[in-house]
Amino acid sequence: MDFVLYFLLGCLISILSGFFGVGGGFILTPVLLLIGFSPISAIITSLFFTVGTSFSGIFAHIRLKNIVWRQGIILGISGIASTLAAPIRFLYG
């Protein structure tokens, strides 16, 4: 029964996100918190779905040849470096 509820909730969140033009995590994370997920689990679940939709968008834009590769690579490397450096900075000062 929980699976059906979560599936329907996911469909509703997807529709609302598309309707309002916001990211799914904007709605998904608070909803997961309201139904009893821990904050860490809610954030991880939201990020998991964000990664999937991001890759889907990347592949669509590769097919359409809409990517400026030089800027994309610079942003990608910067994002990876920041993702790795920030936790180290905040954990160890």
* pLDDT above 80 for 72: yes
Q: Are 27 and 18 in contact (CB under 8 A)?
A: no
Q: Among all chains, which residue has been given the structure tokens 């139904």?
A: 35
Place 91 in a pLDDT band, splitting at 50, 70 and 90: confident
Q: Which residues are within 8 A (CB) of 67 and not within 5 positions of it... i.e. 6 or more apart?
A: 58, 61
Tens digits of per-residue pLDDT, 22-65? Answer: 877 888 889 889 989 999 999 888 888 888 778 888 899 999 99
